[in-house]
């Protein structure tokens, strides 16, 4: 997408606004499937949590992908997008048995990540095959909050509990049709990831009814020039070969599954915001935008980096700015960042705004969530309207208190 296209969208749909480039999503999907082309059988489950707009889910359905979901509501969204239940995997953490049963009744593949629920589910529904989420105790991932496969993590069934897991399976006569792991987001080192897959292969060999092995995700995308990214082609080649060998040893072909979010949508997204005020203080120059962590929380939540361009003045002289929001707490998007000279009213474009951006928005400060636009074939399609005061008031139930009766 060109900057002029983004400027036109900001003009037509107002700011702040999220924009997603459909072509980029398609090319990332194709890059991923090509990287694993040698695998006997491949299934990509797009991680809905990254960006859950219905039109995005429909796009993935058209590409032939399945979905990775973590809540009943994400499953319902996937079904609303027309994705077949058997192409949806549900990997919750800490949810009730009742919710798992509800999702299982829809024909969705269940992935269970603790022994307590596994035992209860297996006892009640021995005929429904389940996948089990294994915690390989490998520290991968770019940040403590997104590294989920290590020993202190709340996710998955420890590899040290496999004998107990097998006993539950035997006692309940349930079927385990898949094993799964997710070591965390932003994997920097393929070697560490491949080490974790060896642990999963070793575990998988203990189950005789497998239909798939799901290696989760965590592929890192670049955020700025020179940034390290997961070498997906190298990983694809090495893991496909290893997977095919596993199938041979296992005695039959099963499916290699992944559930990426960031890799597929991060770079396709732009967040456009207008500069309300340029404020010079004794120590810095702030560019205050018409947004805050209610619309883009990643920099404040886990220090993520988003490239910022002044698309209203791309060729201007570079100056240092701290880009901040309008929220009543400190909400700094970028500190001391070189950006081409900013004038009030300019539009800033934040890069890597496809994954975990809109899906983490809130109404904090009673602000509206932004609009979302999908860019396809040179045309901008509005795929979600900006909220209005009606949305803010929708579920509120005003009560008039007769205060004089209280005293
Ligand atoms: C179980 C699981 N699968 C897949 C993903 C997607 O990860 P990513 O967006 O890094 O590809 C996550 C992210 O939190 C996850 O928890």
Per-domain residue ranges for the chain?
A: 22-262, 266-383
Q: How far apart are CA 377 and CA 23, in angstroms?
A: 8
Buried b (16+ CB within 10 A) or exposed e, 315-328: eeeeeebbbbbbbe
What per-residue confidence (pLDDT) applies to 146? 43
- Does the domain at residues 22-262 carry the CATH identifier 3.20.20.10? yes
pLDDT at 100: 97
Copy the structure tokens of residue 2: 């060109």
Task: Name residues contacting ligand 1 (CB within 6 A).
Answer: 47, 50, 68, 91, 182, 185, 216-219, 259-263, 355
The pTM (predicted TM-score) of the whole model is 0.94
Give the pLDDT of residue 145: 46
20: nearest Cα among 374, 353, 398: 374
69 CA from centroid of ligand 1 (Å): 10
**Residue numbers of the chain with a pLDDT score lower than 50:** 141-143, 145-147
Q: Which CATH superfamily is domain 266-383 in?
A: Lyase, Ornithine Decarboxylase; Chain A, domain 1 (2.40.37.10)
Ligand 1: which atom is nearest the Cα of residue 262?
9
- Indicate if 357 belongs to the active site: no
Q: How many other CB atoms are found less than 10 A from the CB of residue 406?
A: 6
266-383 matches 22-262 in CATH topology: no
């Amino acid at each position: 997408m060109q900057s002029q296209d983004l400027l036109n969208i900001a003009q037509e749909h107002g700011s702040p606004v999220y924009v997603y480039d459909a072509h980029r999503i398609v090319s990332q999907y194709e890059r991923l499937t090509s990287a694993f082309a040698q695998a006997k059988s491949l299934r990509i489950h797009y991680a809905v949590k990254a960006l859950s707009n219905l039109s995005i889910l429909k796009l993935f359905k058209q590409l032939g992908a399945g979905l990775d979901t973590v809540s009943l509501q994400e499953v319902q969204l996937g079904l609303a997008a027309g994705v077949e239940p058997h192409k949806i995997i549900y990997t919750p953490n800490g949810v009730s048995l009742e919710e798992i049963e509800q999702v299982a009744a829809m024909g969705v593949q269940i992935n269970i990540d603790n022994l307590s629920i596994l035992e209860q589910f297996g006892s009640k529904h021995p005929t429904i095959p389940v996948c089990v989420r294994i915690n390989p105790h490998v520290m991968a991932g770019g940040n403590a909050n997104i590294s989920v496969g290590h020993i202190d993590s709340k996710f998955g069934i420890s590899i040290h509990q496999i004998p107990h897991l097998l006993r539950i399976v035997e006692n309940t006569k349930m079927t385990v049709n898949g094993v799964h792991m997710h070591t965390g987001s932003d994997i920097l080192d393929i070697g560490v990831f491949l080490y974790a897959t060896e642990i999963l292969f070793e575990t998988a060999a203990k189950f005789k009814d497998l239909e798939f092995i799901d290696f989760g995700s965590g592929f890192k995308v670049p955020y700025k020039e020179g940034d390290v990214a997961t070498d997906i082609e190298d990983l694809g080649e090495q893991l496909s070969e290893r997977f095919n060998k596993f199938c041979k040893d296992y005695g039959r072909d099963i499916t290699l599954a992944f559930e990426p979010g960031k890799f597929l949508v991060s770079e396709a997204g732009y967040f456009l915001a207008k500069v309300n005020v340029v404020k010079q203080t004794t120590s810095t120059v702030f560019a205050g935008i018409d947004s805050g962590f209610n619309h883009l929380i990643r920099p404040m939540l886990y220090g993520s980096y988003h490239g910022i361009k002044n698309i209203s003045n791309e060729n201007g002289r570079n100056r240092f700015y701290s880009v901040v929001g309008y929220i009543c707490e400190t909400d700094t998007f970028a500190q001391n960042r070189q950006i081409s000279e900013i004038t009030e009213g300019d539009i800033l474009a934040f890069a890597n705004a496809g994954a975990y951006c809109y899906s983490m928005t809130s109404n904090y400060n009673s602000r509206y969530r932004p609009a979302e636009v999908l860019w396809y074939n040179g045309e901008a399609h509005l795929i979600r309207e900006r909220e209005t005061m009606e949305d803010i008031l929708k579920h509120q139930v005003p009560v008039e208190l007769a205060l004089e009766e209280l005293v």
